[in-house]
């Protein structure tokens, strides 16, 4: 497996590990104040890494990475529903979707120019 794919899968694993932290263990600063902005940022990185990993392998990498990223956001929110003190939110999925679209769009500009 090539390094960009390892980066993507490792990062997605880190997202799930972060989602596994019980709600009472999260510092109050991160709990609500910057929550949606954090979701956009974390999924922007995932979108960029996904585009970078798969732009050669897929016919429509931007579209497919965005769909996968949004579905992964749904999985992530569903996973949080079984973690004590955490709860799923459709608004988090929307923020995740915005992030993955921004990251994949950034990747589509930067990766093509460097290739």
pLDDT digits (tens, 9 = 90+) for 12-46: 999 999 888 887 665 555 555 577 888 999 999 99
Q: Residue 81 gets which letter from DSSP?
A: T
The answer to whether the beta carbons of residues 109 and 61 sit under 8 Å apart is no
Q: Higher pLDDT residue, 105 or 85?
A: 105
Contact yes or no for 104/72 (Cβ under 8 A): no
Residue with tokens 């972060």: 18
């Amino acid at each position: 497996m090539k390094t960009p794919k390892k980066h993507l899968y490792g990062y997605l694993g880190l997202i799930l590990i972060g989602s596994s932290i019980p709600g009472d263990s999260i510092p109050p600063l991160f709990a609500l104040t910057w929550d949606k902005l954090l979701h956009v940022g974390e999924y922007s990185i995932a979108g960029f890494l996904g585009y970078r990993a798969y732009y050669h392998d897929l016919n429509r990498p931007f579209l497919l990475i965005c769909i996968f990223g949004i579905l992964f956001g749904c999985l992530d929110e569903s996973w949080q529903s079984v973690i004590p003190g955490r709860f799923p939110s459709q608004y988090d999925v929307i923020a995740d979707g915005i992030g993955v679209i921004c990251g994949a769009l950034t990747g589509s500009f930067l990766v093509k120019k460097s290739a």
